[in-house]
Structure 1
Amino acid sequence: MKRYEELDSIRGISSLIVMIGHHLMIFSAFQNYSYEDNKPFVVYLLKETPARLIFSSGNESVIIFFVLSGFVLYESIQKTYSSYGSYLLKRICRIYIPYIVALIIAIICQTTISGYGISYLSEWFNRSWTIESSSSLIAQHI
């Protein structure tokens, strides 16, 4: 199978932009930011310079990542797998098992943080992590 290193690079950069954007959302300094606020230099750098075009383009990066992934996955399915069923089984094992492990870790973290929140983190983060876990909520994520 031919590897498209250029497309892999663009996919990697796109996923990195999305990851950085999600990490910045955690910190309250990046929520409801205004120029008049007395914020640290790094916040100013990421919000008021051309760097913001990179770090605030998460939605666009997700679209680029999915389009390129669709192309790469289609090429892989066409050349590697004899049937769609064998591909689907391998894909489920590759993605779903780590997802369940991550979900279990998130449940453990959520039960330890639940109700407390962390003062220097964003309202979005604290609101998400102070919701009480229930079996129906967990079932929705499985």
Structure 2
Amino acid sequence: MGDQGALLATLYVRPVLMERILAAQSQDLLICTLRLEVENAFAMHPDSTKTYRTLREHYWWPFMKKQIAEYVSKCLICQQVKAEWQKLSRLLQPLPIPEWKWEHITMDFVFKLPPTLNKHDEVWVVVDRLTKSAQINY
């Protein structure tokens, strides 16, 4: 500081290359057309790695591999069409028929029901396998 006062300045440095590329791509008619065609395509993704390898030949963006993996894992078409790649364990074996009531039971909890007067919003259901009768506890 002197008799003439002081000068205080702040300088911000940040890369603008990515912003310029994204802005240029949004103005490019060919890229916009290709993007619309890709978004409207009805296709199944083989898997995220194969989709990534196919796309990286022509495109690149930050966090590309991660975003492709997330997109493929949430794709509704893929979830409906793809079969699980698992070996079948073996033929199903029937359960033995119980001889007495309440000898074999199944239990389940049901949550997020409308609350009762006592503020309970879940139930515990116990079912007898022989008679199919149920006992419900709040």
Q: Under a length normalisation based on structure 2, what TM-score does the superposition of the two structures give?
A: 0.26
Specify the structure having the higher radius of gyration (Cα). Answer: 2
Q: Which has the higher strand share?
A: 2
Q: Under a length normalisation based on structure 1, what TM-score does the superposition of the two structures give?
A: 0.25
Q: Which has the higher helix share?
A: 1
Higher relative contact order (CA 8 A, sep 6+): 1
